[in-house]
Amino acid sequence: MAGTHSRVPPLSPPAPGAPAPARPRVAWSWSTAALGALDVLPAVVVTPFDVTLGLALGFGVLPVALLGVLPTRRGRVRAIPVGVLMGLSILLGSLVSDLHVVAVVAIFGLAVGAALLVERRPVGQLALTLAVPMVGIGLSFTDHAKGVALFLLIAVGTVYAYLVSLLWPERDAPPTVRTPEPPGGAMFDYGIRFGLAGATAAALGFAFDVDHVGWQVAAAMLVMRPAAEMQRLRSVGRIVSVVVGAFLAAGMAAARPAAGWYAVAIAVAVVGAAATQGSRWYVTPAFTTFIAISLLLYGHPHDVAYRFDQRVVETLVGVGIAYCFGLLVPRVQARLRRPSRQES
């Protein structure tokens, strides 16, 4: 949402049939842009001396930068468990990344469990929309040491970004919008399909020995939503954003600029991700993809075409899997139910 104050993006998908809140297609908040600028400052300082570390630090502050500034300082401490949960989820995925059957079963089980938890505890919303997809991303980190390092970077970045957020004055919290409860069994049905999407993406990645299984798992699980219209919007948005982010990262790696230009690029990516987090269009992956691909390509410019194609193809596969389980399967289910209803 554009304006002087940031808005926390909803952590939970709206209940099926619930109207989505009106938001601009591409929003810009100067408040969260300033937050992102302060959050990314350590990464900008480090990058001229160590580009890889600077990119990793920039990625580490993204969770809190995307969360924005909560109204009260007491409430802002929520950013710490959110960031730590994200890091732990990635670490969990990393730890099971070489146990393929365990990883596939874990993704399915965690997805179903999180969907059921949504109906019982508020933390279920966070688990469903953030933690489980991050476990999927962790499957890309087959080197456990890198998984641990990424967790530590995210944890440290989260604490730092929380301290930065305390500089913002408190304000009145916006009114809470209650969404209607989904009909009985709806979240269980969604959890099954959500789990099958993630498990299928992981199984295909392992079967074809792709370099980054987590990319297509994340693509499938981050675009899937109970509301069909929201999933369609996120699917198109993710494909476009990933292509744009990967293209920019590949172009920069091919140009081999001085390290200082990477410092500028990291700042633009984190500030842009934070400032546009209230957008209705799914633009965030453009910024996160730029940082992720840059981490892979820096120092390896000969891999530019390969990494670009890989990222785009795996995103398309993940979005396609999400389409099957998120949109196609419900249509088939609805058609199969119609004759029985007419007979009764």
pTM listed for this prediction: 0.83
Smallest Cα–Cα separation from 314: which of 302, 303, 306, 325? 306
Per-residue pLDDT of the chain (344 residues; tens, 9 = 90+): 333 333 434 434 444 444 445 678 899 999 999 999 999 999 999 999 999 889 888 988 887 788 888 888 888 888 889 889 999 999 999 999 999 999 999 999 999 999 999 888 878 888 999 899 999 999 998 888 988 998 998 899 889 989 999 999 988 776 655 555 555 578 899 999 999 999 999 999 999 999 889 999 999 999 998 888 888 888 888 899 999 998 998 899 888 899 999 999 999 999 999 999 889 888 999 999 899 888 878 877 788 888 888 889 999 999 999 999 999 999 998 888 776 555 55
Alpha helices in 183-258 (DSSP H): 186-207, 213-223, 228-255
Q: Where are the domains of the chain?
A: 30-171+185-333
- Give dist(CA 149, CA 13) in Å, integer: 30
Q: Give 321: exposed, middle or buried? Use CB within 10 Å, 0-12, 13-18, 19+.
A: buried
Nearest 5°: the CA angle 71, 266, 205 is 95
